[in-house]
Chain A
Amino acid sequence: MTAIDFSQKTVEMINVVKKFGDFVANDGINLTVHKGEVHALLGENGAGKTTLVNCLYGLYHPTAGTIRINGRELNVTDPNVAIQNGIGMVHQHFMLVEPFTVTQNIILGRETTKLMGILDLSAAEKKVAEISERYGLAINPRDKIEDISVGSQQRVEILKALYRGAEILILDEPTAVLTPPEIQELVMIIRNLTQEGKSIIIITHKLHEIKQVADYCTIIRRGKYIDTVEVDTVTEQELASMMVGREVSFAVEKKPQKRGPKILTIDNLVVEDNRGIQALKGLSLELHKGEILGVAGVDGNGQSELIEALTGLRTVRSGKILLHNKEITGALPKQIIDGYNIRTIPEDRQKRGLVLEFDVAENLVLETYHKKPFSWRGVLNHPEIYQYADDSAKEFDIRPANPYLTAKSLSGGNQQKVIIAREVGNDPEVLIASQPTRGLDVGAIEYVHAALVEQRDRGKAVLLVSFELDEVINVSDRIAVIFEGKIVGTMAAEGVDENEIGLMMAGGTS
């Protein structure tokens, strides 16, 4: 079944170092990949995986170290060099020009032209269709990117690399945006590619995917090379402890639940997205005190719009939101925060959560600056604000504990702590947490999960929205699956069948 040709080393990265100023992102990393091999790069967020492959692809220039492609030493000065040497890359955030067609995107930088640089699109379309067919990618070359699904966009990215004759394909977190069935399709495509003799480097932090698809795995921790292992010889547990550097328990510690009465009711909610297309198509949910309700689903099924509707940032077209059986639909953000005490940990902490240029103290009072004791008659009381910030930094373990530092200067985990201190510190009735652990390392993830569980144990209601199915299952008491703007099923989290949820997330019925 395996197609590895051990006689041919396609990629060798030896002792690669990459520094950004004083920060060492890669500190002597080794990576060897053979023809027909799927090689996983495993590491936590910020461990330096993407930096390493960016060096391979010529987007960064390594500070030290050697790169050999097919046995030949190569100075990858820019992506053109990488492309010429058969390296292709599919980025985590797709590198596609939205208003362009599939063909335009694929040929960009390698345009087929007639005389004097005039584009020959029809010739290009033919060639794109050909390659698409050969690898079973099912792409229409004339579709515009903005009109096709995320899964198709990813296949366009793969096609883009193949069009350039890629023999070595780098996939950066390819499954993050896919539904479970789409992931299975991707696995099939990867198998097809290795059968054709391509080498694949796949970046991920999902252990079961490595077990499923990769032959070898290189582990990186805080920029340092840890080990390269044959995947079949290790367990997921062993991979995890190599990645984190200590024993990791996947289970979240929880006391038995004391479920209280219903507090928040969402009834038949209809909301449109920015383009005016219905994102929520009659979504209904009930949230009780003393529970964590997890909303599972793939990105783009209406989660963002749900959060925005609940927090007053998005207009509700029809349907109702009730708090304690009192309708609060259409309330302004300020009312929801102050009046109803519904607080939110937003999905994008740097965009919605923090004013990065403000200092920690100013961020901590973002929702309370207009109240006593932080201000009086429109004049701020700075001593009170900084005193409060000092106390919060201690209570929530924000490091460094200096309220005068700008939020920008904190690490991702500590930025999230500032947000949690602000939202939880105000003792909310309902806490909404959207993707609260995105981009955090394991220690910070544990901290966030503990904070959510603590709210639940104090009898408060928590609504958790996450694209990580594991997180939803581990943290929640109940799980609601969202698909295309509707809840397609609700179940208790304990003893839940992961495959069943996976199917529901993709719109299948169980």
Chain B
Amino acid sequence: MEAIINDIGFIIGTTLMYSTPLMFTSLGGVITERSGVVNIGLEGMMFFGAFVAATVAYYTQNPWLGFLCAGLGGAFLGLLHAIACVSFAAEQIVSGIAINFLGPGLALFLSRLFFDGATQTLTIPNKIPLPLHFLFGEGKLFKSAGFMDLVFNRFATVYLAFLLVLLVWFVLYKTKVGMRVQAVGEHPEAADTLGISVYRIRYGAVIMSGFFAGLGGASMSIAVVSRFSNTLISGHGFIALAAMIFGKWKPQGAMLACLLFGGAKGFEIFLGAKGVPVSSSLLAMLPYILTIIVLVGIVGKTTPPAAIGKIFDKSGK
């Protein structure tokens, strides 16, 4: 009985761990798309963030500094995306594709410079800490490898991700800035006539989305694992994008979708660990199939922000 409970704890725990990078990135997606800018460059931003985090954490031995710098790295790519899409009326998907070449390109270029020609970093000395260990000492609060330990004794990034969901929700729906972001995403001309700078709001939102995607990459490279490699991110940014749509452009919805995708991963790892003879490839396929099925079911009943992907250009009028 205890074994089964522990197994469930293991699945929940891995789910939380793997959902975290998606949640950060997906929240970034919510922010930018609610302001009306599509960002399929989340993948590239996450990739770059993962690299920056591991590199800074390796050289400074400080994972938190790595975490912060990853956000800034993502924000830098966000800035490029914003310059293209907001100031120069670029096709947003095309600019996103450019970011998806630039992010990995820069990451691997720098990786080879800093790590002797390798496309991966060395193992970092200190990962993002487990706050419960930090506060209560190892194995003091919960029994080691017991259910509670497996579920709750998680990296700080996991707690942060959930806090961030709450924060984004609050800012978006309860504050002045959030209302402006929504207005800009729904009807930029209306916001403009009321003296709200559409450009400024969109710049802010896109850069913020890059920052969050960078954090998402970091929570992969310096928490889930302890190094960056060139196949670490492969596709997580795209999944986060899908989760955002799946979650109907709402922070709480995106969170649930990320938990679902993370759960699929957790289940896959659990079955692998138990040696269950199911093809891991087929299991890995499931979340994607599920997404398509769900999208087929829900699209039409969801409304994206009305001005999404549309260029707002004052000078052209």
The reply to whether A and B meet directly (CB within 8 Å) is yes
Interface residue A79 (Cβ < 8 Å from any Cβ of B): yes
Which of B184-192, B207-215, B291-299 is found at the contact surface with chain A? B184-192
Q: Please determine whether A95 and B187 come into contact, CB atoms closer than 8 angstroms.
A: yes
Q: Please determine whether B183 and A97 come into contact, CB atoms closer than 8 angstroms.
A: yes
Task: Tell me the bound Cα distance from A99 to B305 in angstroms.
Answer: 10
Cβ–Cβ < 8 Å partners of A97 in chain B: 182-183, 186-187, 190-191
Task: Tell me the bound Cα distance from A386 to B39 in angstroms.
Answer: 42
Interface residue A83 (Cβ < 8 Å from any Cβ of B): yes
Q: Please determine whether B196 and A109 come into contact, CB atoms closer than 8 angstroms.
A: yes
Cβ–Cβ < 8 Å partners of A95 in chain B: 187, 189-190, 193-194
CB distance from B38 to the nearest CB of A (A): 19
Task: Tell me the bound Cα distance from A117 to B178 in angstroms.
Answer: 10
CB distance from A280 to the nearest CB of B (A): 22
Q: Please determine whether B187 and A98 come into contact, CB atoms closer than 8 angstroms.
A: yes
Interface residue B174 (Cβ < 8 Å from any Cβ of A): yes
Interface residue B175 (Cβ < 8 Å from any Cβ of A): yes
Q: Please determine whether A78 and B195 come into contact, CB atoms closer than 8 angstroms.
A: yes
Interface residue B274 (Cβ < 8 Å from any Cβ of A): no
Task: Tell me the bound Cα distance from A111 to B191 in angstroms.
Answer: 12
Cβ–Cβ < 8 Å partners of B286 in chain A: none
Interface residue B180 (Cβ < 8 Å from any Cβ of A): yes
* Residue in A100, A108, A118 whose CB lies within 8 Å of B175: A118
Cβ–Cβ < 8 Å partners of A99 in chain B: 182, 186
Cβ–Cβ < 8 Å partners of A113 in chain B: 175-176
Encode contact with B along A108-138: 1 for CB under 8 Å, 0 otherwise.
1111010011110000000000000000000
Q: Please determine whether B190 and A108 come into contact, CB atoms closer than 8 angstroms.
A: yes
Task: Tell me the bound Cα distance from A110 to B191 in angstroms.
Answer: 11
- Looking across the interface, which residue of chain A has its beta carbon closest to that of B197? A78
Encode contact with B along A68-99: 1 for CB under 8 Å, 0 otherwise.
00000000001110010000010100011111
Task: Tell me the bound Cα distance from A119 to B172 in angstroms.
Answer: 11
Q: Please determine whether B187 and A111 come into contact, CB atoms closer than 8 angstroms.
A: no
Q: Please determine whether B175 and A119 come into contact, CB atoms closer than 8 angstroms.
A: yes
Interface residue B179 (Cβ < 8 Å from any Cβ of A): yes
Q: Please determine whether A79 and B192 come into contact, CB atoms closer than 8 angstroms.
A: yes
Cβ–Cβ < 8 Å partners of B186 in chain A: 97-100
Chain B interfacial residues counted at CB < 8 A: 21
Cβ–Cβ < 8 Å partners of B193 in chain A: 57, 59, 79, 89, 91, 95
Cβ–Cβ < 8 Å partners of A80 in chain B: 195
- Looking across the interface, which residue of chain B has its beta carbon closest to that of A51? B317
Task: Tell me the bound Cα distance from A97 to B194 in angstroms.
Answer: 12
Interface residue A344 (Cβ < 8 Å from any Cβ of B): no
CB distance from B18 to the nearest CB of A (A): 33
Task: Tell me the bound Cα distance from A119 to B195 in angstroms.
Answer: 18
Cβ–Cβ < 8 Å partners of B194 in chain A: 79, 83, 95, 108-110, 160
Task: Tell me the bound Cα distance from A78 to B199 in angstroms.
Answer: 13
Cβ–Cβ < 8 Å partners of A98 in chain B: 186-187, 306
Cβ–Cβ < 8 Å partners of A119 in chain B: 174-176, 179
Interface residue A204 (Cβ < 8 Å from any Cβ of B): no
* Residue in A96, A117, A118 whose CB lies within 8 Å of B190: A96
- Looking across the interface, which residue of chain B has its beta carbon closest to that of A94? B190
CB distance from B168 to the nearest CB of A (A): 15
Cβ–Cβ < 8 Å partners of B176 in chain A: 111, 113, 117-119
- Looking across the interface, which residue of chain A has its beta carbon closest to that of B185? A97
Interface residue B177 (Cβ < 8 Å from any Cβ of A): yes
Q: Please determine whether A117 and B192 come into contact, CB atoms closer than 8 angstroms.
A: no
* Residue in A57, A59, A60, A104 whose CB lies within 8 Å of B179: A104
Task: Tell me the bound Cα distance from A385 to B294 in angstroms.
Answer: 46
Q: Please determine whether B183 and A108 come into contact, CB atoms closer than 8 angstroms.
A: yes
Cβ–Cβ < 8 Å partners of B306 in chain A: 98
Task: Tell me the bound Cα distance from A119 to B183 in angstroms.
Answer: 14
Encode contact with A along B56-76: 1 for CB under 8 Å, 0 otherwise.
000000000000000000000
Task: Tell me the bound Cα distance from A113 to B177 in angstroms.
Answer: 11
Within 106-164 of B, Cβ neighbours of A (below 8 Å) are at none
Task: Tell me the bound Cα distance from A79 to B197 in angstroms.
Answer: 10
- Looking across the interface, which residue of chain A has its beta carbon closest to that of B315? A20
- Looking across the interface, which residue of chain B has its beta carbon closest to that of A113? B176
- Looking across the interface, which residue of chain B has its beta carbon closest to that of A54? B317
Task: Tell me the bound Cα distance from A80 to B317 in angstroms.
Answer: 19
* Residue in B183, B190, B192 whose CB lies within 8 Å of A59: B192
Encode contact with A along B165-176: 1 for CB under 8 Å, 0 otherwise.
000000000111
Cβ–Cβ < 8 Å partners of A100 in chain B: 179, 182-183, 186
Q: Please determine whether A117 and B187 come into contact, CB atoms closer than 8 angstroms.
A: no
CB distance from A113 to the nearest CB of B (A): 5
Encode contact with B along A47-60: 1 for CB under 8 Å, 0 otherwise.
00000000001011
CB distance from B91 to the nearest CB of A (A): 15
CB distance from B200 to the nearest CB of A (A): 12
Q: Please determine whether B177 and A117 come into contact, CB atoms closer than 8 angstroms.
A: yes
Encode contact with A along B301-317: 1 for CB under 8 Å, 0 otherwise.
00000100000001001
Q: Give me the 7 closest cross-chain CB pairs, A-B, nearest first.
A: A109-B194, A80-B195, A95-B190, A111-B176, A79-B195, A117-B176, A97-B186
Contact sample, A vs B, 11 pairs, CB 8 Å cutoff: A83-B195, A95-B189, A95-B193, A97-B191, A100-B179, A100-B186, A108-B179, A108-B180, A108-B183, A117-B177, A118-B174
Chain B residues near A (Cβ < 8 Å): 174-177, 179-180, 182-183, 186-187, 189-196, 306, 314, 317
Known: A108-B196, A118-B175. 17 other contacts (CB 8 A): A59-B314, A79-B193, A91-B193, A95-B189, A96-B187, A104-B179, A108-B180, A108-B190, A108-B191, A108-B194, A109-B180, A109-B195, A117-B176, A118-B174, A119-B174, A119-B176, A160-B194
